[in-house]
Amino acid sequence: MRKRICLFLVLGALCISSFAKDYLISTPNTSLLVTATPGEKSKFQYYGSHISEKEIQSIYDSGLAFGVESYPVFGLNTPGERAMAVTQADGNMSLDLVVEQVKQYSVDEAEITEIRLEDKIYPFVVKQIFKAYRGTDIISTWVEVENNTKKAVTLYRFASAFFPIHRGDNYMTHFHGHWGAEQTMEEERLTNGQKVISNKDGLANTETDNPSFMLTMDGKPQEERGHVLGGTLAWTGNYLIKMDVHNTKFNIVAGINEENSHYILEAKEVFTTPEFAMTYSTTGKGGVSRAFHHWARQYKVWQGTIPNDILLNSWEGVYFKVNQQGMDEMMKDFSAMGGELFVMDDGWFGDKYPRNGANSSLGDWEVCREKLPEGIEGLLRSAKKYNIKFGLWIEPEMANTKSELFEKHPDWIMRIKNRPLSTGRGNTQVILDLTNPEVQDFVFGVVDKLMTDYPEIAYMKWDDNSSLMDYGSSYLPKEKQSHLYIEYHRGLNKVLKRIRTKYPDLVLQACAGGGGRVNYGMLPYFNEFWTSDDTDALQRIYLQWGASCFYPAIAMASHVSADKNHQTGRKLPLKFRFDVSMSGRLGMEIQPKDMNDADKAFAKRAISAYKKIRPVIQLGDLYRLVSPYEHKGVSSLMYVSSQKDRAVFFAYKLSHFINMVIPNVRMNGLEPEKQYRLIDLTAVNENKPCLLQGKIISGKMLMEEGIALKELLKSEYSSLALELQEVQ
């Protein structure tokens, strides 16, 4: 912070500014500059590469300062996008916010800057907060809205962030899709107009869109070159991110999607918007990704620095046909291959209504003794016998109309009064009203009872297979039905906080019909996410490439599936399937008894190899080398340890033609002066590793010239997984 007197010429007249106060918010490689003068509008001046206090004046002198309101509001100045719009109790629809005071202070994980803005007439306060996370290059921002009047104020727009970027040759990278094709990466040049990324699902907000984007300042997106801004909204519900692009200006507004969600802010109530997190990279998209991965592991993924186990999930192996002997056999076979954790998926519960399909039993979280006569106790004994951990699947936010829960508590169901009840999966699935504290207690109790009765449970897969259908709550008052989208997620967060307080070591996976909850609103309570229900290894290369742009490998569940994939019907080699899955958190989604002895032997060797490289994959720096979206016939990526003494390299052949061009691949992230020994991790024949086995090559050569893949990826769907070890 400093005072400055700025002399400038405006239309030939000499003007002297007030004693404007600059507040510099910095991380090791980025800086954000805001001007906040008491009695005036706060101004967003700069966001980009790191600058020092001495360089602040250069931002103004070079013409880089934006001078744009940091939180523009509707009413006195109506053109253009606004961050906030309200209606006062007297019907006045205007705000006029000026700076009252600024605080800067430290907390354990960050440096905080709070700019308190107050309306000139009404006792209405917006506290704009910036948080620079310690040890990372992430700065987040949000607002806290205080209604200090004696009557309610209605919020119609309440963004978390509003900021400008310099208009130029701007491209946007964003992520869209559908079930089985989540996180599909799209890149496009931004032309004048508006580009909107939004979601209105209500419950699962990343199946069709992800609240994340990258923006280039200088042309087409590149992996390791160029200036790129990356941002993501840490929210579990509906969102709206808008790029407002004009000839001479470019503003971004991001926050909760206010459509059908106007909020009545009572007297003395405080409304807090979700965090919007951002970073700025001068090393392309890769720099953005690595910054978010570091931040996520340190602050935004539950126990994000503890490597996750290799698991077998029962779903594609047996689907709903769960039984005691079958689970025992799967555990035995998986343990013999070196597995560490077995997860029993859907189909294990229901007393009055056994869970044999998707049309019954949700809400009745009692063991189905017909299928599991020895109960969870018997499964835990099996897990102990085979020296592996045990976990199971739950969907605690849901019920079926064919369930004891629905019969006993019809008032707990989300529904609209005087209208027929809408149903989802199985034509019977309905949603519990998590705005209701009684329902919150019930959902918490699902986990609490299981963990109390069976404390040896190590893992739970938390699923959500429905959008929010009937927009109605019997708990919320009639004048606050518009709060439903927001209050649902407040209720969900309360439940998850209670679970984490009581069960910090329970591993939780966020699943929502696949990759429907891959966001930083959920991940602070979860160790990992299910990337997609599509386990086809070829399509997973694209899915995981997109997810890796903002989410780290330690949280990305990636499973080896059957020879003939259950979603696409494609047949892929086991090595290819393992090499793809090993680039994330390795697991299996398969029936082991359907594997032949040779496949089991290969799986055992691959699992053993993954255990050795797991710290590099799950905790290392990601470098994406050849994108599958570039249509070069191959895709490649690698992970490098923080000490640059170890790395893991992957390459995949995506198409197969005679005499096709297969590009050499240059590695990245290594130490040029170091020498690295290359080790083939997943040779099909352990006695015949690839041609690079044992070769020692310098980091300089590997990064400047690379390796030739032509003789290494010769057959259809061939792949390569190499470990690089520093030679002392």
Distances (CA, A) of 594 to 317, 340, 492, 715: 9, 20, 39, 25
CA distance 296 to 679: 30
- What's the token pair of residue 344? 């029993």
Distances (CA, A) of 550 to 139, 185, 238, 286, 426: 15, 12, 19, 10, 34
Q: What is the 3-state secondary structure (H, E, C) of 640-679?
A: ECCCCCEEEEEEEECCCCCCCCCCCECCCCCCCCCEEEEE
Residue 11 has pLDDT above 50, yes or no: no
Query: What average pLDDT does range 523-535 have in this prediction?
Result: 98
Identify the pLDDT of residue 331. 98
pLDDT tens readout for residues 431-475:
999 999 999 999 999 999 999 999 999 999 999 999 999 999 999
pLDDT band of 537, cuts 50, 70, 90: very high
Residue 264 has pLDDT above 80, yes or no: yes
Identify the pLDDT of residue 19. 52
Q: What is the DSSP string of 332-377?
A: HHHHHTT--EEEE-SS-B-SSS--SSTTS-TT--SB-TTT-TTHHH
Query: What average pLDDT does range 390-413 have in this prediction?
Result: 98
Q: What is the mean pLDDT of the chain?
A: 96
Query: What average pLDDT does range 492-517 have in this prediction?
Result: 98
Query: What average pLDDT does range 481-499 have in this prediction?
Result: 98
Domains and CATH numbers, the chain: 2-300 (2.70.98.60), 311-618 (3.20.20.70), 624-727 (2.60.40.1180)
3-state DSSP call for residue 288? helix
* Spatial CA neighbour of 6 closest among 79, 77, 61, 87: 61
Query: What average pLDDT does range 179-184 have in this prediction?
Result: 96
CA distance 723 to 638: 10
Percent of the chain residues past pLDDT 70, beyond the cut: 97
Q: How far is CA 260 from its chain centroid? A: 25
Residue 230 has pLDDT above 70, yes or no: yes
Identify the pLDDT of residue 686. 92
Percent of the chain residues past pLDDT 90, beyond the cut: 96
pLDDT tens readout for residues 337-389:
999 999 999 999 999 999 999 999 999 999 999 999 999 999 999 999 999 99
Identify the pLDDT of residue 20. 66
Identify the pLDDT of residue 69. 97
In sequence order, which residues have a C-beta less than 8 Å from that of residue 181 and are 6 or more positions away?
A: 532, 534, 539, 543
pLDDT band of 78, cuts 50, 70, 90: confident
Identify the pLDDT of residue 587. 98
Q: State the maximum Cα–Cα separation within the chain, in Å, rounded to a whole number.
A: 90
pLDDT tens readout for residues 544-603:
999 999 999 999 999 999 999 999 999 999 999 999 999 999 999 999 999 999 999 999
Identify the pLDDT of residue 217. 95
Query: What average pLDDT does range 190-208 have in this prediction?
Result: 96
Residue 4 has pLDDT above 70, yes or no: no
Poorest-pLDDT segment among 5-9, 160-164, 191-195, 499-503: 5-9
Residue 272 has pLDDT above 80, yes or no: yes
Identify the pLDDT of residue 3. 36
